[in-house]
């Protein structure tokens, strides 16, 4: 069993900080519909869904990436790399949904 300690390069740490910032920004963006419809009597509760799923996915991944960037060595860097890869997959899924939404809305006009 290899007990070598992984040390992150400055470039990897910068990538981890950038990835964490993007994921935490997306999480904050998911809170906007719930905040905008806070006291709306006609609101049906579906504005809370982005905040719910963002809190389950992007918040923990962003925090793991942030802790890996701060730590810079050990298991946290391994976990942060995995969190960045999973976050990129979620980001690709969100971008694909936004593109399909724009195409669909343009076809209705």
Domain ranges for the chain:
10-36+45-108
Residues 32-50, mean pLDDT to the nearest whole number: 91
Residues 48-83: b if buried by 16+ CB within 10 A, e if exposed: eebbeebeebbbebbbbbbbbbebbeeebbebbbeb
Q: Is the pLDDT of residue 103 over 70?
A: yes
Q: What is the DSSP letter of 8?
A: -
**pLDDT reported for residue 108:** 86
**pLDDT reported for residue 49:** 92
* pLDDT tens, position by position, 4-31: 788 889 999 999 999 999 999 999 999 9
Query: Model pTM?
Result: 0.85
pLDDT > 90: what percent of the chain?
78
């Amino acid at each position: 069993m290899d007990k070598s300690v992984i040390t992150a390069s400055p470039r990897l740490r910068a990538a981890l900080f950038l990835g964490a910032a993007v994921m935490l920004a997306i999480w904050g963006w998911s809170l906007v519909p719930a905040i905008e419809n806070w006291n709306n009597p006609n609101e049906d509760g579906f504005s809370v869904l982005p905040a719910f799923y963002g809190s389950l996915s992007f918040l923990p991944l962003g925090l793991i990436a942030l802790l890996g960037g701060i730590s810079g060595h050990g298991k946290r860097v391994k976990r942060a790399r995995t969190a960045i890869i999973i976050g990129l997959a979620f980001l690709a899924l969100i971008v694909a949904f936004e593109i399909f939404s724009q195409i669909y809305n343009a076809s209705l006009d």
